[in-house]
Chains A and B, each alone.
Chain A
Amino acid sequence: MKISSQDLRYLLVFMVTTTIVASGVAYAVLSPTSERFYAMYVLGSSGLVEHYYPNDDPDLAIGEPVNWTIGVYNHMGSLQYVVVRVKLLNSTLPSPNQMTGTPSAVTPMFEFARVLVDNETWSIPFVWRILTVNPTAGELLVTGISINQIPLTGDLARAVSGFNYRFVFELWFYDGATNDLVFSWHTQSTRYSVWTQIWFNVTSTTSK
């Protein structure tokens, strides 16, 4: 069948449009560029954002088991070597700084390391209890903690009257440029870091 010059023009316009659209789709398929981020969260004993303490009471006694789950999600678009560093602080020790990407200066007491593929979520059971404390001049010094049945001892953290301790969880990851673990990363002009914390008190120096 003979094609009129007008229809030929329509066909050409359609063909060019389809080529542009198909190329765009192919580009999107070959180089997916979604927003890149890590996520980290802590869940309570029921696996939800609740029931963080036995009987929902943040005033813990010696030996009282606390059952949390730490979750880490990798949405960086690539394989990642991540480390969760656990630190025990009081209210006056400096927190990690989101603006400057600086971690807390406190030495980590525990670490979890894993390689995560893109879009993988890693759930880490975190079962802990206070083992020993040492009351000194209005302060309470935690000297023993068990994390996942591994006892840790030393001068771990002190707080006035045993109030306002906190576990800080920092997410570190391997950076190929520095060949080391780093705490923050840049996306365009913004600096990101991932950390979270949960507060508790140790108001009783005896077991419940």
Chain B
Amino acid sequence: MILLGIMVPKVTTQTSDLVASSYHTFNLLAGVYRLGGAAPELVAKLNIALEQMQEARIKRAQGDEAGAARLEEQARSTIAEIENAIPAAQQRAERDSATRMLFVLASIPVAVIISTFTFYLALSTWRRYERLKLYEMRIVENKKSED
């Protein structure tokens, strides 16, 4: 992790289109996560871009305009890379989300069938036990009456 700062007095001369791009890219990435997907490699790249942007801000505040411009260009290129990779991540997330939904929905009847069948087995075992007890009692009663 790189720590970055802003010189005082506040320097807000960073190209606003770059900040807007980072917001836009974040929105797209957040969409991937909202769908239930994950793209940690893209999040890591976006964090790199944010660090580059902040480093650029420091450079500019220190008067190094060329260094700042170079870092901003790197940040732009990193953001562009992320945006190019997002459609594939979105598709993957949609697919994963549909698979997860299907799995969870399919597991409901499966769980119901298995547990009902288990309940049925327990119930029928109990009934069989009751019948056996009854049968046993009848034998005892018959023996008593024979005696």
Contact = CB atoms under 8 A, between A and B. Distances in A.
A124 B3 CA distance: 8
Contact of A23 (B4, B29, B108): B108
Interface in A177-191: 179-180
A78 B30 contact: yes
B5 A79 contact: no
A30 B106 CA distance: 13
Nearest to A154: B8
Given A29-B104, A79-B26, A176-B27, A111 B112 contact: no
B116 interface: yes
A30 B104 contact: yes
Main secondary structure of the interface of A (DSSP, over half): mixed
B96 to A, nearest CB: 13
A113 B54 CA distance: 8
A26 interface: yes
B26 A152 contact: no
B105 to A, nearest CB: 7
Contacts of B40: 117
Contacts of A7: 123-124, 127
Contacts of A118: 33
Given A11-B116, A79-B30, A79-B43, A124 B1 contact: yes
Contacts of A117: 33, 38, 40, 43
B33 A79 contact: yes
Contacts of B3: 112, 124-126, 148
A37 interface: no
Contacts of A18: 111-112, 115-116
B8 A109 contact: yes
Contacts of A152: 5, 7-8
A179 B27 CA distance: 9
B79 to A, nearest CB: 12
Chain A contact-residue range equals 35 or more
Contact of B116 (A14, A81, A124, A156): A14
Interface in A59-92: 78-79, 81
Contacts of A10: 119, 123
A148 B3 CA distance: 7
Interface in B10-29: 10, 20, 22-23, 26-27, 29
Nearest to B38: A117
Contacts of A115: 26, 29, 43, 46-47, 50
Given A19-B112, A79-B43, A152-B7, 15 more contacts: A7-B127, A11-B123, A18-B112, A78-B33, A81-B22, A81-B26, A109-B5, A109-B10, A112-B4, A113-B50, A114-B1, A115-B47, A117-B43, A148-B3, A150-B58
18 contacts: A10-B119, A10-B123, A14-B115, A14-B119, A19-B108, A22-B108, A81-B22, A108-B6, A109-B5, A109-B10, A111-B6, A115-B47, A117-B38, A148-B5, A150-B58, A152-B8, A153-B8, A179-B20
